[in-house]
Amino acid sequence: MVFSKKIQSLSCLFFITLIVIKGQQLSRKEYIVKFAPLAVKQMQLYKVPASITLAQGILESNNGNSRLAIKGNNHFGIKCHGWEGKKIYADDDQKHECFRKYKDVIESYRDHSLFLKKYDRYSFLFDYKIKDYKSWASGLKKAGYATNSKYPELLIKIIEENELYKYDKIRSDQLLAISRDIYLHSNKIKYVIANDLETYQIIAEELNLKLWQLYKYNDSKSDKILATGTKVFIQPKRNKCKKRIHIAKENETLYEISQYYGIKMKKLQKRNSFFIETQLKSGDKIRLR
């Protein structure tokens, strides 16, 4: 596993200059604010303490600023180990070692949880209580996650200095009974609202649905990070709605109209074939039924 030791040897002046030059360096506080919701989500789904996930992400990726994190979205220094996806190479215990490359940070966080779940040598960790971050930190070293003899101490120091243990207390007695508000669309379809740093994959796992179902229900094939507040249907959309005509706004899309009214995209396209290849203009009349 990789985490940067070099930063400790840099002078304060050089470090400040480096931040100014690059302009993209995340501070530790910024990293925690940005990725704490994602760590909590992983805890709820896979029972890995959020404090441990965050501390490892901070340590392994140098607050998200390492080359592996920036170029490969790899925040946990996970090596290839039979990985069939894209790869990135970096020096670690040996030169030019193979590391997993992810499409986004969410995939990295999710793979970190699955990595710990997959290998038997980590199985004993899940016997510890969620709040027992000290045992988790020691257990990770014992299981061989990192070669640094001070790995547990480094994780614990990060957790305690930044009070990351507070994230382990979120719904600590109901981790498997995840609660999410479910709404009823006016077209009689159930949907949920996407939170920060969520994808269809995360929502599907949480609600015990198949990823293909959410893709189908929302006429989508992309598992990119959803904008906060996005409406995600968890049931099939309808063939039509009560309203007959929608007056388009400038640059509005058929997909946006489909999601707004809860109408299947293919039905909307069939009724409005003229607009499929054109950009909608203000005042265009779109048939809804």
How does strand 245-247 pair with strand 97-100? unpaired
Cβ atoms of 159 and 51 within 8 Å: the answer is yes
What pLDDT was estimated at residue 122?
97
Q: Give the CA count within 13 Å in the CB-facing half-sphere of 40.
A: 21
What pLDDT was estimated at residue 179?
57
Q: Which two tokens stand for residue 259?
A: 């999601």
The segments of the chain whose pLDDT lies below 50 read 2-22, 172-178
- List of residues 6+ apart from 134 with CB closer than 8 A: 152, 156
What pLDDT was estimated at residue 91?
83
Q: How far is it, in rounded angstroms, from Cα 45 to Cα 191?
A: 20
Q: Return the HEC string of the chain.
A: CCCCCHHHHCCHHHHHHHHHHHCCCCCHHHHHHHHHHHHHHHHHHHCCCHHHHHHHHHHHHCCCCCHHHHHHCCCCCCECCCCCCCEEEECCCCCCEEEECCCCHHHHHHHHHHHHHHCHHHHHHHHCCCCCHHHHHHHHHHHCCCCCCCHHHHHHHHHHHCCHHHHHHCCCCCCCCCCCCCEECCCCCEEEECCCCCCHHHHHHHCCCCHHHHHHHCCCCCCCCCCCCCEEECCCCECCCCCCEEECCCCCCHHHHHHHHCECHHHHHHHCHHHCCCCCCCCCEEECC
Distances (CA, A) of 220 to 107, 115, 148, 254: 18, 28, 44, 13
Q: How far is it, in rounded angstroms, from Cα 164 to Cα 159?
A: 5
Judge if 6-169 and 183-233 fold alike in CATH terms: no
Q: Which CATH number applies to 183-233? A: 3.10.350.10
What pLDDT was estimated at residue 1?
59
Q: How far is it, in rounded angstroms, from Cα 74 to Cα 96?
A: 16
Kindly tell me the burial class for residue 145, based on how many C-beta atoms sit within 10 Å of its own C-beta (0-12, 13-18, 19 or more): buried
CATH 3.10.350.10 fits 245-287, yes or no: yes
The class (CATH top level) of 6-169 is: mainly alpha
Query: What are the sequence ranges of the domains in the chain?
Result: 6-169, 183-233, 245-287
Provide the β-strand partners of residue 273: none
Q: How far is it, in rounded angstroms, from Cα 257 to Cα 274?
A: 15
What pLDDT was estimated at residue 224?
79
